[in-house]
Amino acid sequence: ISPVIEYAQLDGRPWFERYQPISNKIASRSGNWQELRDMVRTCNEANVKIYVDIVFNHMTSTLPSGTQGVAGSGADTEHKDYPVVPYTYRNFHNTCEILSYQDPIQVRNCELVGLHDLDHSQSYVRQKIISYLNTLLNLGVAGFRVDAAKHMWPDQLKLIYDQLNNLSMDAGFPAGTRPCIYQEVIDYGGEAIKASDYISLGLVTEFKYGMELSRAFRGKNLLKWLRNFGTAWNLMPSKFALVFIDNHDTQRSGGDILTYKDSRKYKMAVGFMLSWPYGTKRVMSSFDFSSRDQGPPHNPDMTIKEVTTNPNMTCNNGWICEHRWRQIYAMVRFADIVQGTSVEQFWDNGSNQIAYCRGNKGFVAINGDNYNLNQTLLTCLPAGVYCDIISGLKDNNKCTGKSIQVDNNGKAQIYMSILDEDGILAIHVQSKLS
């Protein structure tokens, strides 16, 4: 979930104001700490774990005098005085600009886009952060996304992580369970700071993953090359990687990154991600935007609009909710069912039509070419009729979308038209009709 720490209200209420903390209170446009506690409790009871985006590399930038936080907290941002925490200028690094990403001292001790940079070498600063994170753990959250981890020293982060509480037993977690931590380290190569500097501390974001898959599904690289997608593509080892097609930053940065705005190709890329055994996967859930800085859907008083849903579970009211798209939630289930299996029988047509098995549990076919796919392929599944989970669902022992007949040799005739809603097809052992 987005940052829950109190942040400054900026002109126009852009989405990124949530990344400018003004105090250490739990208060945001999404609600107060009691509402957060109730949401976390409800989610845990439904076996949905909550991971909070946390911002402690910095506080605000220098803002106009009188700027307040969403809960009314004030600060003298020009002089780095945040009385609610409290922090004074002595708790920050000296003001300097990051001019070279070849200099790790600049990257970690100077100000990221003018945001006042906290000095984590100070025990006082670390204890304030640890106290805040432990408050969230006591509410029942399961872990954290550490924003701007690249801009903090790994040894100082370790001092913080080592003093975090175990997950809350009151929230239903087993005794001694440690928080799951994943760290935002943007590493496309060519800089002094590497993602590998942080892998001993927890999971690390693998930004090259979404970039490479977006390029491939946009037709800028042949899908046939995906047969060895992973470390052979200069990605970090799978067990350390937190992977995604897009996130809240990259979906606004232009370039090749696929987003909900190019939904057919996007669903193919997300489907590949969820069917391929590499990394810990994260699915994006967005709100609609037409300009880069646009904040979430809101009422005239700037409160965030409710998420309303359709009978097919998709969202309205300005919310995109990619995680509720049938093609995506069906592939999340696919990922669970094939967990622990490897890719077998990878087939390609020499171009952008590919197919592969996940052990004897699942089968995926993708058509990224601009002509139909019509091929007899080995599915690695037992004989029977299977429902394609992309074009529909298995409902009352019937398929609401395509059905696939697998013969006694595990083979099936796979037909995918370029006119189909989706360019991906998937079946698994639990989509078989009885």
Q: Which residues are catalytic?
A: 147, 184
The half-sphere exposure of 271 on its side-chain side, counting CA atoms within 13 A, is 31
Question: Residue 270: enclosing H or E segment and its boundaries?
Answer: helix 263-275
Q: Which residue has the tokens 């600063």?
A: 125
Yes or no: say if 386 and 352 are a contact pair by the CB < 8 Å rule.
no
Yes or no: say if 34 and 43 are a contact pair by the CB < 8 Å rule.
no
Count of C-beta atoms within a 10 Å radius of residue 316:
13
d(CA 319, CA 424): 24
* Non-local CB neighbours of 45 within 8 Å, separated by 6+ positions: 172
Count Cβ atoms within 10 A of the Cβ of residue 324 and give its class: 0-12 exposed, 13-18 middle, 19 or more buried. Answer: middle
Output the six-digit token pair for 148. 């701007």
The half-sphere exposure of 252 on its side-chain side, counting CA atoms within 13 A, is 16
d(CA 21, CA 125): 14
Distances (CA, A) of 251 to 106, 149, 239, 284: 27, 20, 25, 10
- 112 DSSP assignment: G
Tell me the one-letter amino acid at 204: V
Helix pair angle (33-45, 123-139), 10° resolution:
50
Yes or no: say if 149 and 198 are a contact pair by the CB < 8 Å rule.
yes
